[in-house]
Chains A and B, each alone.
Chain A
Amino acid sequence: MSVRSTIISEMQRIAEAEEKNLPPLTDDLVLLQSGLDSLGIAILVARLEDALGLDPFTNSDDLFYPVTLGDFITSYERAESSN
């Protein structure tokens, strides 16, 4: 499974467990408006660390936090390619 599809399916799993509906998951979707709040995003990042072995936000040299879903996925894709 690609990084992108792993992220999307983990998001759907978290939303499903919390009985939330996600909007269409496009790249320009603002992450905090995806239906996941910061705790939801923290859970997502923890699950992705287990699933992908990647955490692009801890001690990274990137100085910006992801605003859109596209930013978020790009961070993981970059972390994967530099791994």
Chain B
Amino acid sequence: MKGPKVQISCIRSRIAQDANGRFISGAEHTVALRELIGGTSLGGSLSQLAGRSVLLAVTDQFSAALAMIELDGVASRLILWPPESPIEHLPTVLSKGAVDAVVTDHDLAPLSADGIPFQVRASVAITPSANGHLDTQATEWVLLTSGTTGVPKLVGHDLMSLTSAIVNSGEPEAGAVWGTFYDIRRYGGLQIFLRALLGRASLVLSCAGEPVADHLLRLAAHSVTHLTGTPSHWRRALMSPAARTIAPRYVRLSGEIADKTILNSLRAFYPNAAVAHAYASTEAGVGFAVNDGLEGFPREFIASDGDVQIKVEAGSLLIRSRGTAVHYIGEKLALKDAEGFVDTGDMVELRGDRYHFLGRRSGMINVGGLKVHPEEVEAALNRHRAVGMCCVRSRRSPITGSVVVADVVLKTDENHSNEQTVEVKHHILNYCRGMLSRHMVPAALNIVSSLSVSSTGKISRHNE
């Protein structure tokens, strides 16, 4: 009965089948899974969360992991609040998600006087559990993605959609130690969390703000065997002397375009590791993994049969599988088309016998995993008194995948001397720094004499 297609009722029961010698480790705490299944990190409150729509909003990733294990199969809905989410979106998420309980490790009261019905304190300490036999129900897992306006969309999955790529990948390797540079409250990190816990593996978590060298040394101390992150995570890791301390046998990249340089560098750096890059998104689920070490993906991946069906329409990648999300919560927007395909909005181009990724259809810029809407940066630039017109676009970066660059037409037609141009640029960038997050401030700003406007009246962005 333990074939690869087995259905999983809940995470905790699966762990209980084989918890020996396995652990979850964070920057400051490590817990044995055996201890975890006999205890609780939620005080005596787990039974009161049964059947509720729960928002998990903790700062610490380790306590998030403990709560996620406990709440799966108990809460009716579990909404994962990523740690860096702007707090002003909280009321939207509470309302769209019909939240009636919040699990947190900090005080949310001042943020929402009009009410979170029930708050439970998450902790990193495990106490023996009195909740012997809670009825198991299928929990709806909800991830947040930033929509085009920056207001988060709630993407609903169930355990079957989240684990379809995992159960299809065959028997797990016993004794594996997974590590990830992602946060487990985002889709890419959640996949690794589930892969480790539903397989017979252990898991080493990242920690926000931890220097990369310290994280690598922790991964080395736990003899990490499988390690995943974005190309930007990996580039940063390879720039650390501590990258030599780990020896993974499986290296995986996803979440951004994997270029030739990072793929070749990883193969040279970890000669005993299989290096794969994967395509996945919160809505579309896991599309595919590319194991041949080359950029892009082979054209034969476009297929209308099999577990994952992939097609390209108007240059955009579309995916249909059991791994796609179920629906958006709290809005009428359809997540899939009439045939069940999710349009990923990721643009691809066939070159020879491989498809290559070109970036987002929306023009959204991905700076080391942080999303930037060019319009938002343009709005900030346009408020500066010297700026007549501007165009914000993406430039490829060997470090963060992309950076933001801006072309600016100044209001006055006067010719500026070189010194004056430098002065104006400096002033505009300082102005942006006061209004925008760091990753949104243009890395380079070019003063140009004109910008091309398309026939529809829009400024044409020519991404480099």
Stretch in B33-41, B258-266, B336-344 with 4+ CB within 8 Å of A: B258-266
**For residue B261, which residues in chain A have a CB less than 8 angstroms away from its CB?**
57-60, 62
A43-81 vs B, Cβ < 8 Å mask (1 yes, 0 no): 101110110000101111011111100000000000000
**Cβ contact within 8 Å between B398 and A30:** no
**Cβ contact within 8 Å between A64 and B368:** no
Q: Does B327 contact A (CB under 8 A)?
A: no
**Cβ contact within 8 Å between A42 and B260:** no
Q: Does A15 contact B (CB under 8 A)?
A: no
Q: Does A8 contact B (CB under 8 A)?
A: no
**For residue B241, which residues in chain A have a CB less than 8 angstroms away from its CB?**
30, 67
Q: Does B213 contact A (CB under 8 A)?
A: yes
Q: Does A3 contact B (CB under 8 A)?
A: no
A65 to B186, CA, bound (A): 27
**Cβ contact within 8 Å between A42 and B368:** yes
**Cβ contact within 8 Å between B236 and A32:** yes
Could you say which of B368, B430, B433, B443 contacts A46, with CB atoms under 8 Å apart? Answer: B443
**For residue B397, which residues in chain A have a CB less than 8 angstroms away from its CB?**
42, 45-46
**Cβ contact within 8 Å between A39 and B269:** no
A51 to B433, CA, bound (A): 22
Could you say which of A32, A43, A64, A65 has the most chain B C-beta atoms within 10 Å of its C-beta? Answer: A65
**Cβ contact within 8 Å between B238 and A65:** yes
Q: Does A31 contact B (CB under 8 A)?
A: yes
Q: Does B235 contact A (CB under 8 A)?
A: yes
**For residue B265, which residues in chain A have a CB less than 8 angstroms away from its CB?**
63-65
A15-34 vs B, Cβ < 8 Å mask (1 yes, 0 no): 00110000000000011100
Known contacts A32-B212, A39-B368, A50-B444; decide if A45 and B399 are in contact (CB<8 Å). Answer: yes
Q: Across the two chains, which residue of chain A brings its CB closest to B233? A: A38
Could you say which of A18, A42, A65 contacts B400, with CB atoms under 8 Å apart? Answer: A42
**For residue A49, which residues in chain B have a CB less than 8 angstroms away from its CB?**
444
**Cβ contact within 8 Å between A45 and B268:** no
Number of A-B contacts (CB under 8 A): 80
Q: Across the two chains, which residue of chain B brings its CB closest to A38? A: B236
Could you say which of B269, B403, B444 contacts A64, with CB atoms under 8 Å apart? Answer: B269
Q: Does B31 contact A (CB under 8 A)?
A: no
**Cβ contact within 8 Å between A47 and B260:** no
**Cβ contact within 8 Å between A42 and B399:** yes
**A residues neighboring B (CB under 8 Å):** 17-18, 30-32, 38-39, 41-43, 45-47, 49-50, 55, 57-60, 62-67
A59 to B259, CA, bound (A): 8
Q: Does B439 contact A (CB under 8 A)?
A: yes
**For residue B398, which residues in chain A have a CB less than 8 angstroms away from its CB?**
45, 55, 57-58
CB A43 to nearest CB in B, in angstroms, measures 4
- Can you name 17 extra interface pairs (CB under 8 A) apart from A42-B403, A65-B235? A32-B236, A38-B368, A43-B403, A43-B443, A45-B397, A46-B395, A46-B405, A46-B444, A47-B443, A58-B259, A58-B261, A58-B396, A63-B268, A64-B265, A64-B268, A65-B265, A66-B239
Q: Across the two chains, which residue of chain B brings its CB closest to A46? A: B443
**For residue B446, which residues in chain A have a CB less than 8 angstroms away from its CB?**
50
Cβ-closest 4 pairs across A and B: A57-B398, A42-B399, A63-B268, A42-B400
CB A35 to nearest CB in B, in angstroms, measures 12
Q: Does B438 contact A (CB under 8 A)?
A: yes
CB B32 to nearest CB in A, in angstroms, measures 33
B399-431 vs A, Cβ < 8 Å mask (1 yes, 0 no): 110010100000000000000000000000110
Q: Does B25 contact A (CB under 8 A)?
A: no
CB B116 to nearest CB in A, in angstroms, measures 34
**For residue B267, which residues in chain A have a CB less than 8 angstroms away from its CB?**
63
Q: Does B240 contact A (CB under 8 A)?
A: yes
CB A44 to nearest CB in B, in angstroms, measures 9
**For residue A62, which residues in chain B have a CB less than 8 angstroms away from its CB?**
261
**For residue B238, which residues in chain A have a CB less than 8 angstroms away from its CB?**
64-65
Q: Does B197 contact A (CB under 8 A)?
A: no
**Cβ contact within 8 Å between A38 and B438:** no
**Cβ contact within 8 Å between A30 and B395:** no
Q: Does B232 contact A (CB under 8 A)?
A: yes
Q: List 13 A–B pairs whose Cβ atoms lie within 8 Å, in order of A's numbering.
A: A18-B438, A38-B239, A39-B367, A45-B399, A46-B444, A57-B399, A58-B259, A58-B261, A63-B267, A63-B268, A64-B269, A65-B239, A65-B265
Could you say which of A32, A45, A47, A55 contacts B240, with CB atoms under 8 Å apart? Answer: A32
